[in-house]
Amino acid sequence: MSATAKTRLTPRERLRRGLTYTAVGPVDITRGTLALGLHGAQSAGGAIRERYRKGRLADQLKEAQETIAQELSAAQEVVASLPEAFQEARRPTRRRRPLLLIGVGAAVLTGGAVAFSIIRRSMQPEPSPRPPSVEVAPKP
């Protein structure tokens, strides 16, 4: 490595060097001034973007709080109506469903058994009407 390694100058260093050295001064002064202006504009743009993002974040937070408040009030209404729902659920009703469920279960089991036997038969290969081309018994 050489002792004099070139490093990139920051805009501020370039402006200072430009003012110090008169031979390269006008070029460095121009580049430094333009770079400082560009850097300032980028910084201002970033600050504006950040403020805009924070403003949108605050709006989203307000909307979320309103939604949570609505959901909470709906949940309170549901909890308040639970005792009535429990009383309605406890009322005796006629029980004809077990017989219907047993009938449906038997029909499903019968249908499954028939489908299983049909699928099982269709998976067995049909015997070939022609004799085998290779001897089946091994030679001694």
Query: pLDDT tens for residues 7-36?
Result: 888 888 887 777 777 666 667 777 888 888
Q: Cα(126)–Cα(124) distance, rounded to whole angstroms?
A: 7
CA distances from 105 to 88, 110, 111 (A): 29, 9, 10
For residues 35 and 14, is the Cβ–Cβ distance under 8 A?
yes
Q: Where along the chain do its domains lie?
A: 11-91, 94-123
Q: Side-chain half-sphere of 89: how many Cα atoms within 13 Å?
A: 6
Give the separation between CA 135 and CA 69, rounded to whole angstroms. 84
In angstroms, what CA-CA distances link 99 with 51, 94, 108? 69, 12, 14
Tell me the pLDDT tens digit for each residue of 75-120: 888 888 887 877 777 776 666 677 888 888 899 999 888 888 888 7
